[in-house]
Structure 1
Amino acid sequence: MNPVVLIDAGLLTLLLVIGVPVPFCFAGAALFLMLFGDFGSTGFLVGAGFNKLNSIVLIAIPLYILAGGIMGAGGIAGRLIDLADSLIGRLRGGLGLVLIVATAVFGAISGMASSAVAAIGTVMIPRMVERGFDRGYAASLVAASSVLALLIPPSASMILYGWVTGTSILACFLAPIVPGLILVSLLGGWNLVLTRKMPLRQPDPAPRRDIVCEAFVRTKKAAAGLMMRLIILGFIYGGVTTPTEAAAVAVVYAIPVAIYVYREMNWRDMGQVVWRAGQTSGVLMIMIFFASMLGRIWTLENMPQEILESFLGISNNPIVLLLLANLFLMLIGMFMEDVSGILLAAPLLMPLMTEAGVDPIHFSAIIATNLGMGLITPPTAPLLYFAALVGKTNLSGMLKPALVFVVFAYLPVVLLTTFVPALSMWLPGLVLGLN
């Protein structure tokens, strides 16, 4: 392999380790190749970046980001939380279950884990602290449950994975659902265990009739938000729209709901939401541009094949290869968020997955669960840091529950997803008729 490419890979790793923002890491590595690589004209590198951006599939990502921003600012997320609270909030530790369910629903519409942390964390963490939950625990649970945005469709990460690997995006949406539901169950169970000694203040007991009436009222208030999810998935799986068109429908639907139905936004607020969504989308597009340039060079230099050969040098046993791939993915997830992790890992590991006999649809669930675990795995854990910022707490108070979630919730899901293909292949086969 070209020594310049090896140095470039080392430079990228170094920049990630020392905490340089991920887009600048990719940009620095790409510029290093352009300055010091012996590739003749570098015009083809710039062309590779622009060609990757010239895809209608990618339009879905900023649209889902915008839809998530409108949900958070327009009161949709708050009403979903109130509905879940009326159903399960009276249980001991029930507010933690509310957080998990609300984050799963919100993340499933916004498609971004960081959006779920921002929107749900700002509402739920103060509410949980008022009920006696430890602030560090509440922030840790927000970070852990926000990863469900990667697993419950429509996921921006799965859109990107399908685009990078040429796999059906609909199948990629479906593959991580069962692992995601298992994760919801495990997070909920450990929430009950970890909160049993906390001095929680439960809501006053109420007659069943009052509880049912409250749930009914809150269901009516949240109905417009719930319909948003049903419309998105119904349009996609009903064949009415593509995922990109469904994202546009979500935005068009969310705007009048937030402004005219819930009346918690005005058009001036809408401008701020669009501006923030544009900033996030711009950063993602820059990252995709430079990552595509890197991917083109690494492919020309046979880096995926080199990784395959190095792994096969350790063992050609499919089980060992899958364990090595999981470790590789977890390490990547510890240093970067899911979008950049997929841009880097999917093309590099695809030859290894082919050698191990793993279907690309199955691999979509493997990569989603692994990168999700990496996002909350210390010492880097980008989502933990973000949740600490949102929850106004320090990382030390979050580490113990975070490690419990990683070891006893995420790790079992990763292993089950990896070694029981039926968990990720059953639903695509049922819905799409795939063998």
Structure 2
Amino acid sequence: MSIYIILDVVILCLFLIIGVPVPLCFAAAVLFLYMTGDFSSSGFLVSAGYSQMSSIILLAIPLYIIAGNIMSQGGIATRLIALAEVTVGRFTGGLGIVVIFSTAIFGAISGMASSAVAAIGSIMIPRMVERGYDKGYAASLVSCSAVLALLIPPSASMILYGWISGTSIIASFLAPIIPAILLISLFIFWNYILTRKMDIQSNHYENQSLSAWGSEVKVKTKKAALGLFMPLIILGCIYGGITTPTEAAAIAVLYAIPLSIYIYKEMNYKQLYNVLWESGKITGILLVLVFFASMLSRMFTMENVPQILLESFTTISENKIIILLLVNVFLLMVGMFMDDISGILLATPMLMPVMHGLDVDSIQFAAIIATNLGMGLITPPTAPILYLGGHIGKTNLKSMLTPTFFLLFGAYLPVVLFTTFVPEASLFLPELILGN
């Protein structure tokens, strides 16, 4: 591998570590490689970046971001959390289960794990601390649950993966669902184990009679019913073959706006403008990132980086299991240094030739890359989502480490290995629903 390629990767990682905005990190890597490499013209690189950026598929991502922000600001998320809390409030550690489900669902709708941490964490962490949960545990649980956004459809990460790899978007949505269910189940198990010795105050749901509790569930369900239709509309339209993921995202936005303004009346036009403005800024940053990441990917391909990577893996071992483990380690490292969007933009074109060489289906690789990058986002010492959770929860990383390691090694790692070495975990639903 050229020394310039290695230096380019070092520059990219170094800029990410010191906190340079991610699009500028990729821009710097593109500029360095262009100046040191043998590229006769920049025109084709700019064209490559623009053609990728102009894809209609990418329109789904800002629409899901808008829908998620409206959910947060318009009272939809609050009502869904209230319903989840009353439903599982009678169980030990019930508030932790609420966090797991609400963070996962909100992260999936908004398409971004960071949005889920900010929106759900700001509501649930203070509530958990007030009830007697350890603050470090509360922040850790929110952060670890937020990365389920990569696995639960409609996932912005899987939209990008399908677009880059040429895999069906719907198949990419379906592939990580079983791993996500396993991960949620393990999170609930560890929540029960880790909260048993905490001095958690009982809530009034635990002391209610079944009839009184049932009545309250009905009341909360009625209040949240219209909000519950939002994910049902999105998934129903996509899997029913009625709309594309992009069209379903547009329907979700059109549904959420009147619901928040005219029915729930928790959002006005000024707040809607602010939501659209903030979503527009996020979209602008994302498009700049896609532009430079696409250019860098094209340059890496021209420099035969994917083939060199495959040769490097096979030099270490020709055993498929060993190579897959090396791929997992590579993806984990990528996830530790980058957010999920950046990681998928960079890793997918680099590793697809490796997967083809191992006869790994691109649909299975969707689940492999999602679970690994998600694990990287919460793996110290970098752990970008973990740091964000600590900031939202006003606690330090040290207090979050113990519960995080339980969730990492007791939940995430087993699911990553299961997804990697049991193809049926990611291929069953696409084959069942799509007949792939």
**TM-score (normalised: structure 1):** 0.98
Letter in structure 2 aligned against 1:8: D
CA offsets 1:270-312 (integer angstroms, 9 cap, x no match): 0111111111111111111110110111111110000000000
AA of the residue aligned to 1:280: I
Shift of 1:113: 0.9
Matched, 1:150 2:150: yes
Q: CA deviation at 1:393?
A: 1.4
**Structure 2 residue identity aligned to 1:200:** I
Match runs of 1:323-362 below 5 Å? 323-362=325-364
Residue in 1 that maps onto 2:260: 258
Is the 2:26–2:296 contact (alpha carbons within 8 Å) kept by the matching residues of 1?
yes
Contact 2:65 2:109 in 1 (8 A): no
Normalised by the length of structure 2, the TM-score is: 0.98
Matched, 1:93 2:98: no
Measure the CA separation in 2 of the matches of 1:23 and 1:202. Answer: 47
Which residue of 2 is the match for residue 122 of structure 1? 122
Find the aligned partners of 2:13 and 2:308 in 1 and give their Cα distance. 17
Shift of 1:90: 2.4
Counterpart amino acid of residue 17 in structure 1? I
Alpha-carbon displacement from aligned partner over 1:44-73 (angstroms, at most 9, x marks no partner): 211111111010000000110110000000
Amino acid across the alignment from 1:70? I
> What residue number does 1:213 align with?
215
Q: Please state how far the C-alpha of 1:7 moved relative to its aligned partner.
A: 2.4
Q: 1:246 aligns with which of 248, 267, 270?
A: 248
Deviation track 1:221-253 (CA, whole Å, cap 9, x = no partner) reads 111111001100111111111001111111111
**What percent of counterpart residues are identical?**
62
Aligned mates of 1:17, 1:310 — CA distance in 2: 26
2:321 corresponds, among 319, 322, 332, to 319
Q: Does 1:193 align with 2:193?
A: yes
Offset at residue 2 of structure 1 (A): 4.4
The one-letter amino acid of 1:264's match is E
Structure 1: unaligned runs, 5 residues or longer:
none
In 2: Cα distance, 1:49 partner to 1:154 partner = 25
Greater shift, 319-328 or 89-98, is seen at: 89-98
Match of 1:372 among 366, 371, 374: 374
Deviation at 1:35, TM superposition (A): 3.1
Would you say the 8 A contact 2:49–2:290 is kept in 1?
yes
Q: Which structure 2 residues correspond to residues 24-423 of structure 1 after superposition, within 5 A?
A: 24-204=24-204, 205-423=207-425
Deviations 1:103-128 (A, max 9, x none): 12222222211111111111111111
RMSD across aligned C-alpha pairs, in angstroms?
1.1
* Aligned residues between the structures: 434
Q: Distance in 1 between matches of 2:314 and 2:269?
A: 57
For structure 2, the residue ranges without an aligned partner over 5 or more in a row are: none
Letter in 2 for 1:20: V
State how far apart, in whole Å, the 1-side matches of 2:26 and 2:245 are: 27
What is the letter of the counterpart of residue 92 of structure 1?
T
TM-fit CA distance, 1:34 = 3.1
Deviation string 1:159-214 (CA, Å, 9 cap, x unpaired) is: 00000000000000000000000000000110111111111001130111110011
Q: What CA distance in whole angstroms lies between the structure 2 residues aligned with 1:284 and 1:403?
A: 31
Instruction: Give the superposition deviation at 1:21.
Output: 3.0
Q: CA deviation at 1:33?
A: 2.4
Provide Cα deviations, 1:369-421, integer angstroms capped at 9, x if missing partner.
Answer: 00000000000000001111111211111111111111111000000001111
